[in-house]
Each structure stands twice: as structure tokens, then as C-alpha cells.
Amino acid sequence: MMDRVFLEAFSVQAVIGIWEWERQIKQRIEISLEMGFDTRAAAVSDDVADTLNYKAVADGVAALTQQGEFKLVEALAGAIADYILGNYAVPWVKVRVSKPGAIRGSRHVGVIIERGTPSD
């Protein structure tokens, strides 16, 4: 089983939505990530150079989200997965994107996608 590095409920302000009023404002988006990564070298060395730098991942995902102006959370989730798989040494990523309060009476609505291939 592959180790996982995660980032949970990372909050970003972004333009997202299909309605005209949504295209005029920034809304809070929550992003959670699980990324397959072999952490054994980092566990032995105790050196950040041997692990997945989740701060760098968070900064890149925030920039992508803030600059993108997506209509659908599905499109944003796909773009985040493509960015992570294309820029970091991870074979697999699980992305959860939610819009808190988008539906009256709900805490969150959104999507969860998985891309790549888990490996040992």
C-alpha cells in the first residue's frame, strides 16, 4: 500500500460558479488532497528534501484556483489533479473540492475525484 501525504480543508477565495452573480465575486472553496508518496526515505533521513513538500503543493494549488475562474467544481478538481500529477513525484492523487454553503441547508457540496495509478 502506498503512503499518503494529505492536506485537509485548505481554504481559498476564488471565482467559481455558473451564475452571473457568482462570476462577479470570490467565494470560499475548500480543497482536500491525498497524494500517494513513498515517505520511507524521509522517515529515515528526517530531511524535508526527501519528502513531498506540501507547502509547495498548497501554494501551487492556491495560485491555480485563484487565477482560474472556473465554472464547475469538477473542472477545478480536474485541473488540480493534472497540476499535481504533472509537477510532483506522485503516481496518484485524490482531490476533494467543495463550496461551503452553496446549497441552503447544506454544510458543503462538491466533488471527489481520483487520478493516476496507486502503486506500491
Of the candidates 55, 71, 94, 99, the residue annotated as catalytic is 99
DSSP letter string, the chain:
---EEEEEEEEEEE-B-SSGGGGGS-EEEEEEEEEE---HHHHHH--GGGS--HHHHHHHHHHHHHHH-BS-HHHHHHHHHHHHHHHSS-SEEEEEEEEETSSTT-SEEEEEEEEE----
Q: Is 99 a catalytic residue?
A: yes
Q: Which residues are catalytic?
A: 99
